[in-house]
Structure 1
Amino acid sequence: MAPYDSSRWENLIAHITTSSNDSIRLSYISCAPAATTTTTKGTILLIHGFPETSHQFRHVITPLSDAGYRVIAPDYRGAGRSSKPVAGYTKARMAEDLHKLLYSHIGISGKVHVVGHDIGGMIAYAYAQLHGESVASLVWGECALPGSQLFDAIKGLEDVFHFLFHQILDLPEALIAGKEDVYIRHFFDKQTVVADFLDREDFEVYVQAYKQPGAMRAALNVYRAFGEDARRNREWLKENGPIKVPSLGLFGGGFKLAELADGMVQEMCQGGEVRAVEACGHNIAEERPGEFVNEVLEFVGRHSA
């Protein structure tokens, strides 16, 4: 895969205080449109998944910005170079972190396009529920959203063993410690269609990120919050109905969720669209970055001011 261009990226740190009085550090990449761009079309927020960090979007940040968008790609709470507190891993709290990052720290004005993958898709959905007035469009996928009928149907299946394993206190941390590379490699190997999408250096970025003190505990706590996430999502659905923000469910056509995705997206998003990237597994932005960029730009382009 061709090297990615990071020449316009800024690697930055924000210190924010949430409504729960958490003071946390958020690491993020900011990429402005090229100097030749005459009009900035808006802001795209990219939210990564597990076992990844903002590095997941390395191939797509610059192409998205080349199309005229400011791109922000944070390490969410607990991941990468961001703080790793013991608590605060409901997707509503994690969404609040990112809203504070954009509007209180960076000073974004206007609506943003929110794009989330895997755990990031769950955070993106919570973001749209809580801050729909500031969301121009929502692209989310490669996750079974807690509280959805799909999540309830698959949460005990072997393919998602980690949904249950990660709920156990203390034992997963003990078993994974010192074997982070084995554990992380398992997820990439079983979820991938494009076999050579991840070279050794990129894989090591993830391994070293999750070897940091507190990082694996934080990652597991993200899953331990699924029960509360499910409760909140069902509550929102009952009170508000499906979200009204223009929504696209984006899935890898070669991964198992693609064939089940339409029902979930229609359940949770009013008028939601679903697209599958062919010959692609779970990690769309890494396996098929060109197709990822095309799908995102086509959708957000229809919903830009």
Structure 2
Amino acid sequence: MSITSKGCKVHRCRQRIATIKSPDDEEIRLNYLECLNPPSLDKKGTILLIHGFPQTSYQFRHVIIPLSNAGYHIIAPDYRGAGQSSKPASGFTKAIMAGDILIPVRDYLGIKEKIHVVGHDIGGMIAFAYASRYPDHVASVIWGECPLPGSSFYEQSKGTVALFHFIFHSVLDLPEALVAGREGIYLKHFFDKLSYNSAAISLTDLEYYTTCYSQPGAMRCGINVYRAFEKDVEENRKWLKENGKCKIPALALSGGNCFLAQHAESMLKEFHVHVENATVADSGHYIAEENPEDFVHEVLEFVRKNN
């Protein structure tokens, strides 16, 4: 395992690049943003933030410092295929992607205590995989804004117009061909459709995300994350049958103005024993960008109860 690091504007934050041997026995590079808690505060724990599609760890740009300033060690990776991480040909089941993230968090950064895992959208699916497969390493899990593969809501919603891209992305090769050169148009469609606070993702932010997903292999990887959903269904149902519901305290966190919010609590209850529900006010799908203050408040409220 090798690593390089580079300072960012806040001296407690730094970018890290870890080269790891992933659970599917492939060598990949993972980009991380790490932010240490202020030296004046005792470390209260570690919070892992996992982004969604079509985003990267950049989606947490407004919340990393406030969460860190509350006394937490923050880690925000670009998951496999996204941002500055490697663009492999395979390995996009959420269990493998969770294992990718576990390796440097536990083995390189040396975090042995239980951590708090927060996942949004695709990151929510990864957060569930992380908490369920590695319960000895998780104190609490917060996830939402996604239909979890294997849940009743996933089966009910995967073919609807609102989630048309679930079907579109499952078609081999065609999505990449149609989106190539039009990445900005495609990404803006999701931001426009699913945002409540339309000013939250600026043209500068859109340009950043577009640049990330215009990299060679990036859109293919982003779409392959969806192509793995039916395998995720199989794995999640098998895990639930063999292990029963996950006993890690779980919070369903949704945008108060997103259609997914009304299904979140019942969906989590299919897979978790201990479930709470919260919404981020004045926000659609992109909760950490549309209302970062409420996002931070809800995360800290739940994390503090489960430290």
Aligned position for 1:84 = 87
Aligned position for 2:155 = 152
Aligned position for 2:239 = 236
- Is 2:27 the counterpart of 1:23? yes
What is the TM-score normalised by the length of structure 2? 0.96
Distance in 2, matches of 1:154 and 1:6, equals 41
- Is 2:39 the counterpart of 1:32? no
Task: Give how far 1:7 is off.
Answer: 4.3
What SS is found at the alignment partner of 1:196? coil
Aligned position for 1:118 = 121
Aligned position for 1:289 = 292
Amino acid paired to 2:248 = V
Asked if the contact 1:117/1:140 (under 8 Å) is kept, the reply is yes
Distance in 1, matches of 2:100 and 2:10, equals 25
Asked if the contact 2:115/2:137 (under 8 Å) is kept, the reply is yes
What is the TM-score normalised by the length of structure 1? 0.96
Asked if the contact 1:265/1:274 (under 8 Å) is kept, the reply is no
Q: Which of 183, 200, 203 in structure 2 is aligned with 1:200? A: 203
Distance in 2, matches of 1:12 and 1:250, equals 28
Amino acid paired to 1:21 = D
Q: Deviations over 1:9-39 (max 9, x none)?
A: 10110011123321100001000011221x1
State how many pairs are aligned.
300
Task: Give how far 1:262 is off.
Answer: 1.8
Distance in 1, matches of 2:33 and 2:193, equals 29
Asked if the contact 2:37/2:72 (under 8 Å) is kept, the reply is yes
Q: Deviations over 1:253-301 (max 9, x none)?
A: 1000111112101111112111112221000000000000000000000
Q: After TM superposition, where is structure 1 displaced by more than 3 Å over at least 4 residues in a row?
A: 4-7
- Is 2:57 the counterpart of 1:58? no
Amino acid paired to 1:71 = I
Task: Give how far 1:179 is off.
Answer: 0.2
**Percentage of pairs with the same residue:** 53
Amino acid paired to 1:103 = R
Amino acid paired to 1:135 = V
Q: Which of 45, 48, 54 in structure 2 is aligned with 1:45? A: 48
Aligned position for 1:70 = 73
Aligned position for 1:223 = 226
Task: Give how far 1:5 is off.
Answer: 6.9
Aligned position for 1:175 = 178
Structure 2 residues not aligned, in runs of 5+: 1-7
Structure 1 residues not aligned, in runs of 5+: none
Task: Give how far 1:155 is off.
Answer: 0.5
Distance in 2, matches of 1:227 and 1:133, equals 27
Distance in 2, matches of 1:74 and 1:6, equals 17
- Is 2:101 the counterpart of 1:108? no
Distance in 1, matches of 2:196 and 2:186, equals 19
Distance in 2, matches of 1:109 and 1:232, equals 26
* Larger RCO, structure (CA 8 Å, separation 6 or more): 1
Distance in 1, matches of 2:67 and 2:213, equals 27
Q: Deviations over 1:41-63 (max 9, x none)?
A: 11100000000000000000000
What SS is found at the alignment partner of 1:256? coil
What SS is found at the alignment partner of 1:262? helix
Task: Give how far 1:114 is off.
Answer: 0.3
Asked if the contact 1:16/1:105 (under 8 Å) is kept, the reply is no
Amino acid paired to 1:243 = C
Distance in 2, matches of 1:81 and 1:100, equals 17
Asked if the contact 1:89/1:225 (under 8 Å) is kept, the reply is yes
Distance in 2, matches of 1:19 and 1:230, equals 19
Amino acid paired to 2:163 = V
Distance in 2, matches of 1:7 and 1:165, equals 43
